Structure 1
Amino acid sequence: MDLAIRILILALLALSLDLLVGHAKMISLGHAAFFGIGAYTMALLVDKGGIAPLFAVPLSVLGAMVAAALVGFLAVRTWGIYFVLITLAFSQAFYYLVHDSTFTGGSDGVVLMERGSYDLFGIAILNLDNERQFYFFVLALIAAFIAFLFVLIRSPFGQIVKGIGLNAPRLESVGFDSKTYALTAFVIAGGGAGLAGYLFALHQMFADPTLLSWHMSGQILIMLVLGGSGTLVGPVLGAVLITLLEEYLGTYTSNWKFFLGIMLVLFVLRVRGGAWPWIAARAENLKRRDGEARP
């Protein structure tokens, strides 16, 4: 159950970044900042504000979206390597702000005591301290986010975001303000990361500065490389691959990332586009051959 919850949360985080990387072709090395901000918003509201963890959901998402709007306002005015560096710089700024502040607990972070149980008119409806109920709570939020992305990507807005990745100058030439659409996508992706951060902190019962580090941002990008970007299945598959690799190889060696590096190189060389597009292409080829073999 613990492993399944971790996979779901990381899948949500990867899906939120894929809106930028897989569709708008905006590679961010600072996405973990919004993940950490969502986690810290919930943890601080509960620890210092006395708010029940369940009711911190919208505030965690909102906090991450506000931070994404501030970063994105400057970042979307650049492109390519400059966009990568600006997002990385802001991420590190947020990291050290949290790491060096006594309000956020410094390097020790913030520890939570309980997730809480919730009643309606005296009837127990949700107990987040129960691992099974917490699992279905996480699953429901992630299913809602995937449904939201499914509709968003197929909407006119989603098609324009894809157009930014294909040819932003051409969009500008026909009257679309690509920077506004890119900023909106950046804020939505930040909100998704904030939701993932909220769930991660609630699952682990603490929030610490490592959640905002560029290492976490790199790990999310690796999930997209392994699973395949630009799809709803690829980021989930990438989260499954990395989490299982850490879970099972980590029991035998602390150097499990060495094997992750080998896997990443092999995928880049032999499975270009990621595992899910490769599987889909092989399935389509088999289907075509089967159709040709029939009289």
Structure 2
Amino acid sequence: MTVVRNTDLVAPPKRRSFATLSSGISRWRVPLSILALFFLPWVLPSEALAVNVLIYGLVAVGYNLLFGYTGLLSFGHAAFFGAGAYATGIAIGAFGANWFLAMLIGVVFSGLLSALMGVLAIRTRGIYFSMVTLALSQLVYYTALQASSWTGGENGLRGFTVSTLNFPGFSVNFLDPLVKYYAIMVVVALALWFVSRVLNSPFGAVIEAIRENETRARACGYNVERTKLLSFILSGVLCGLAGTLSALHLSIVPLDSLHYHTSGLIVMMTLLGGAGSFFGPFVGALAFLSMEDIFSLWTSNWQLIVGVIFILFVLYLPKGIWGTLISWGKAR
């Protein structure tokens, strides 16, 4: 007769300890993400690269909310990024708005645009949804191209600069690269806190249910179309917020910020980092921008090298860098 000891029923210590660690990381994911971003300019070769990681990481966070958590593949998110940047630049350059009001205008404009595009796009599914978002995004691109008196046309929007961020009682020198980084990081930190709250809410559970099985979510009584639309709008607002930060950072808004090429970059960054993971978008933005920074010094055809690396990731690391690390940790 085999004697079953109590010790045989106890989970392996390593597995149990990792589960506890994973739960703690998930609970403190916002502070840990902010802590990692805090030290970023000290480990990267330049503050400008660190700022770009912040901005494009935030774009990828917004896109990840729609693709990674809701399961909707969009090819048109450059419209929201560029719209936020253009609205902010026009508000400052043409109407003399202060930086905060200009950012608010950019975010609201991106939200209205995402609501309009979302109403049209969520009527479709699968690849048709992707193609509709791509077509609508290109419509926004050509509208900006033709409205050259407002947008600058092919030359992009210029003629505005934000040198200081004025607050009650003090001001911040926005021309100092390190100060600029931490000023932008405050906005990104607030956005991460907001996204975490959304994901931890009942709404976050519903969008993940739609991603896993849309038919079952509808059978459970959830309004799938309305939930998709709200997710689409929130995603567009976050991308628009990143666009406003980009406009303040560069003091120009290139027309390419609305092009489908930018939409493709957003998708690549999200997949490289790990779709459906909280910190993955920043890892993906860091990976892509670092490869661009390094390979562009070697050859003008750096995009070919990055493309090959991206293909290898899709084939062999479909969960992305951060997602793969998390999976390896759970398997140990």
Give the TM-score category using the shorter length: over 0.9
Q: What amino acid is aligned across from residue 224 of structure 1 in structure 2?
A: T
Whether the 8 Å CA contact 1:35–1:197 is kept in 2: the answer is yes
Q: What amino acid is aligned across from residue 152 of structure 2 in structure 1?
A: G
**Partner in structure 2 of residue 192 of structure 1:** 238
How many Å separate the matches in 2 of 1:225 and 1:117?
Answer: 36
How many Å separate the matches in 2 of 1:73 and 1:92?
Answer: 17
How many Å separate the matches in 2 of 1:112 and 1:129?
Answer: 16
**Partner in structure 2 of residue 267 of structure 1:** 313
**Partner in structure 1 of residue 163 of structure 2:** 116
Does 1:16 pair with 2:59?
no
How many Å separate the matches in 1 of 2:291 and 2:68?
Answer: 23
**Partner in structure 1 of residue 77 of structure 2:** 31
Would you identify which runs of 4 or more consecutive aligned residues in structure 1 move more than 6 Å?
none
**Partner in structure 1 of residue 154 of structure 2:** 107
How many Å separate the matches in 1 of 2:67 and 2:167?
Answer: 42
The TM-score normalised by the length of structure 1 is 0.93
| 1:118 to partner: Cα distance | 4.2
1:155–1:119 CA distance, 2 compared to 1 (3 A): closer
**Partner in structure 2 of residue 277 of structure 1:** 323
Q: What amino acid is aligned across from residue 217 of structure 2 in structure 1?
A: L
**Partner in structure 1 of residue 299 of structure 2:** 253
Aligned counterpart in structure 2 of residue 232 of structure 1, from 278, 293, 306: 278
**How many residues get paired?**
285
Whether the 8 Å CA contact 2:99–2:165 is kept in 1: the answer is no
**Partner in structure 1 of residue 228 of structure 2:** 182
Q: What amino acid is aligned across from residue 114 of structure 1 in structure 2?
A: T
CA deviation vs aligned residue, 1:42-68 (integer Å, no higher than 9, x gap): 000011111122331211111000000
Q: What amino acid is aligned across from residue 129 of structure 2 in structure 1?
A: F
**Partner in structure 1 of residue 17 of structure 2:** none
How many Å separate the matches in 2 of 1:181 and 1:90?
Answer: 21
Does 1:78 pair with 2:124?
yes
Whether the 8 Å CA contact 1:18–1:235 is kept in 2: the answer is yes
How many Å separate the matches in 1 of 2:165 and 2:77?
Answer: 32
Q: What amino acid is aligned across from residue 105 of structure 1 in structure 2?
A: G
Q: Quick one: percent identity of the two aligned structures?
A: 33
Q: Which moved more, 1:92-101 or 1:131-140?
A: 131-140
How many Å separate the matches in 1 of 2:171 and 2:72?
Answer: 41
Whether the 8 Å CA contact 2:274–2:280 is kept in 1: the answer is yes
1:120–1:44 CA distance, 2 compared to 1 (3 A): closer
**Partner in structure 1 of residue 208 of structure 2:** 162
Q: Which moved more, 1:109-118 or 1:98-107?
A: 109-118
Partner SS, residue 201 of structure 1: helix
Structure possessing the higher radius of gyration over alpha carbons: 2
Whether the 8 Å CA contact 1:53–1:116 is kept in 2: the answer is no
The TM-score normalised by the length of structure 2 is 0.83
How many Å separate the matches in 2 of 1:112 and 1:153?
Answer: 39
1:143–1:250 CA distance, 2 compared to 1 (3 A): same
Q: What amino acid is aligned across from residue 238 of structure 2 in structure 1?
A: G
How many Å separate the matches in 2 of 1:264 and 1:117?
Answer: 39
**Partner in structure 2 of residue 4 of structure 1:** 50
1:240–1:120 CA distance, 2 compared to 1 (3 A): closer
CA deviation vs aligned residue, 1:74-127 (integer Å, no higher than 9, x gap): 111111011001100100000000011122111111114421324456x43322
- List runs of 5+ in structure 1 lacking aligned partners: 289-295
Q: What amino acid is aligned across from residue 244 of structure 1 in structure 2?
A: S
Partner SS, residue 125 of structure 1: strand
Aligned counterpart in structure 1 of residue 250 of structure 2, from 188, 204, 210: 204
Q: What amino acid is aligned across from residue 93 of structure 1 in structure 2?
A: L
CA deviation vs aligned residue, 1:243-290 (integer Å, no higher than 9, x gap): 0011111112111111111111111121121111211222334xx4xx
The RMSD of aligned alpha carbons is: 1.3
Q: What amino acid is aligned across from residue 275 of structure 2 in structure 1?
A: S
How many Å separate the matches in 1 of 2:253 and 2:52?
Answer: 15
1:175–1:6 CA distance, 2 compared to 1 (3 A): same
**Partner in structure 2 of residue 61 of structure 1:** 107
Q: What amino acid is aligned across from residue 261 of structure 1 in structure 2?
A: G
Partner SS, residue 97 of structure 2: coil
Q: What amino acid is aligned across from residue 321 of structure 2 in structure 1?
A: A
